[in-house]
Amino acid sequence: MQRRLLLARRCCRNRTFSSLTNRPSAGPQIRRQLWDIIRKTRIEGRTVVITTHYIEEAEALCNRVGILARGALIALDTPHHLKSNVGDYIVEYIDAEGKLIQHICKSRGEAHDIAKHQPNSVTVRKSNLEDVFIKLTGERIE
């Protein structure tokens, strides 16, 4: 509760800039309240800088995303442009050895062409910032 109060005080000041370093919260209700505060702050025209390890949070809340790898900024753009530059669609399936295989595709047609040639169950989905992170860094998010 104290952390939420401090955050609310920080975000509600009459400033054009707020900074937030995200730490794991106590549960989904607190996370949703925090997201609401951030969205309200953005609607009011203030800039919010968020540092987070939660890719889905960055994708949901940020107009621009910077990706850091080994202490260096390797990408900075809107979530839409970052995903488009890597590929808009992902084809996923499990190979005969049980390994997850992912193909990044620029178009839905390309994704469906790859998918229809796979012998196992296949998922075709839109890319997300985690896909961008993995493509740019070669690392999975833990």
Please write the tens of the pLDDT for every residue from 55-107.
Answer: 888 898 899 999 988 888 999 999 999 999 999 999 999 988 888 889 999 99
Distance CA 136, CA 41 (A): 31
Confidence at 1, pLDDT banded by 50, 70, 90: very low
pLDDT at 84: 92
Residue type at 25 in one-letter notation: S
pLDDT at 10 (0 to 100): 59
pLDDT at 30: 82
Q: Distance (Å, rounded) from C-alpha 100 to C-alpha 27? A: 30
d(CA 87, CA 38): 29
- What pLDDT, on a 0 to 100 scale, did the predictor assign at position 114? 92
What is the reported pLDDT for 13? 57
pLDDT in tens, 6-61: 555 555 555 555 555 555 556 788 888 888 888 898 888 888 888 888 888 889 88
Q: What is the structure's pLDDT at 66? A: 92
